[in-house]
Amino acid sequence: MKRFETYRLKLGSVLFFLCIVLFSAHAQDDAYRTTELEFDGKVYTAMISDKDTFILQRLEDVSITAPRTFENYDDYRMYIRYRRYAQKVYPYAVEAIKIFKEMEYATENYSKRKRKRHIKKLQKELKKEFSDQLKNLTKTQGYILTKMIERELDTPMYDLIKDLRGGITAGYYNQFGKLYGYKLKEGYKPGVDELLDIVLQDYDISYEVPR
């Protein structure tokens, strides 16, 4: 299978470059001035001439991925399968990362005992909300969800469970996971599953807690 690179570009820089190109193309005929325009309650910076108006706006980052080719049809089918399953579990991964980071932030000054009570209460609430949905995931879907979370947090699932629920619980889930082919102590390692690496490059589940 050929290797592919995903390029993360600053759209703000891209748009600035495009504006410069457009500006240069018309510079000989038009005199531009910079001003601010209000639209729909928001203020935007604009470049205005007698003929044109260019709105300058900084957007979020974007990932651009080269066209993908595969050495054989089996790799292609597996990639399509991974991509379809990743789309299904992506919302759960996003919510899991959000909940985890907000919980870490909320309990950073708690005592060990108070933090444990908080986590136990949160677990009961989450079980009611997500238990039935997660039970319906297939083995491969659960695998992809786990790797999404491990990749974002750069921590094996075993260590996350150990930190949140204790060593005994982590050991239980580690043994239970082996029945389904999960190696919770290994974590996400780029290169182990190259097809999954390619798929996960297209998903951003990062989350910053509002301060």
* pLDDT on residue 7: 46
Indicate whether 76 and 59 sit together in one domain: no
Indicate whether 127 and 193 sit together in one domain: yes
Indicate whether 59 and 77 sit together in one domain: no
Residue 154 lies in a domain: yes
Residue 206 lies in a domain: no
Indicate whether 145 and 58 sit together in one domain: no
**Domain of 193?**
72-200
Residue 58 lies in a domain: yes
Indicate whether 78 and 32 sit together in one domain: no
Residue 145: phi, psi to the nearest 5?
A: -60, -45
* pLDDT on residue 8: 46
**Which residue is listed with tokens 């504006």?**
19
Cα 177 to Cα 184: distance, rounded to the nearest angstrom: 7
Indicate whether 79 and 142 sit together in one domain: yes
Indicate whether 159 and 58 sit together in one domain: no
Indicate whether 123 and 186 sit together in one domain: yes
* pLDDT on residue 63: 55
Is 164 in contact with 119 (CB distance < 8 Å)? yes
Structure tokens at 134: 């997660």
Residue 20 lies in a domain: yes
Residue 211 lies in a domain: no
* pLDDT on residue 57: 63
Residue 119 lies in a domain: yes
Domain boundary among 44, 63, 82: 63
Indicate whether 38 and 108 sit together in one domain: no
Closest among 109, 103, 144, 107 to 125, alpha carbons compared: 103
Name the pTM for this structure.
0.67
* pLDDT on residue 67: 58
Is 107 in contact with 118 (CB distance < 8 Å)? yes
Indicate whether 92 and 29 sit together in one domain: no
Indicate whether 143 and 57 sit together in one domain: no
Mean pLDDT per block of 10 residues along the chain (211 residues) reads 46 46 49 69 70 63 62 91 94 91 89 87 80 84 92 91 85 83 87 93 84 69
Residue 1 lies in a domain: no
Residue 210 lies in a domain: no
Indicate whether 130 and 30 sit together in one domain: no
Is 174 in contact with 162 (CB distance < 8 Å)? no
Per the structure, how many domains does the chain have?
Answer: 2
